[in-house]
Each structure stands twice: as structure tokens, then as C-alpha cells.
Amino acid sequence: MALDDVDFKKAVGHRVRRLRHGIGLTQDALAERCGIYRTYLSRIEAGSANPTLVVMGALAAALNVRLCDLFCDEASPAAAELAAPEHNSA
């Protein structure tokens, strides 16, 4: 899988939704904690919004995870691709 094939907006949205469900929050509750509209959170989770780094930071804080944890799950193929040695060399 090439990095060009990774749809980051959908991957992040899916991860946010899974984390939100994992701690039992509604979209309304998470949106309120982040200071964003529920409709915007819905678009983030659907992969149609492109959230700013500030919003990503607010989501990570509200979900009690590191910012980098929003980008991929360690078990996902995208995480394996990003962790491959060829992507870590400068």
C-alpha cells in the first residue's frame, strides 16, 4: 500500500468514531468537549471534513489519547505502512 492510497480523512474519521464509541460518548458530548459543532464532528467522522491541527488536538484531548493516535490504529495496514523502515529514513 502506497501512502498515496491512504485516505487520511476517512482513516482519521473512522478512528475518532471508534475511540468515541469506546468511551461511550455521543457525538453531542464529544463535540461539546471539543468546542465544535456536532455537525462538524459528524463530517469529520464521515471523512468529508478536513479538521485543523487545533481541532485534532482538541479531539485527542477529549478522547484522552495522543494526537498521533488519531491518525492510525497500530493494527491497521496504514500503520504498518507508515512504520516501515523506508518511510522512517530521512
CATH number, residue 44: 1.10.260.40
Range of the domain at 25: 3-88
Does the pLDDT of residue 3 top 80, yes or no? no
* pLDDT for res 19: 96
Average pLDDT over residues 19-44: 97
Residues 46 and 13: beta-carbon distance below 8 Å = yes
Query: Quick check: pTM over 0.85?
Result: no
Percent helix, percent strand, percent coil in the chain, to nearest 5 = 70, 0, 30
Where are the strands (E) in 1-46, listed by range?
none
> Which range (4-8, 35-39, 64-68, 77-81) has the least confidence?
77-81
What is the 8-class DSSP label of residue 50? -
Does the pLDDT of residue 84 top 60, yes or no? no
What total number of domains does the chain contain? Answer: 1
Average pLDDT over residues 16-21: 96
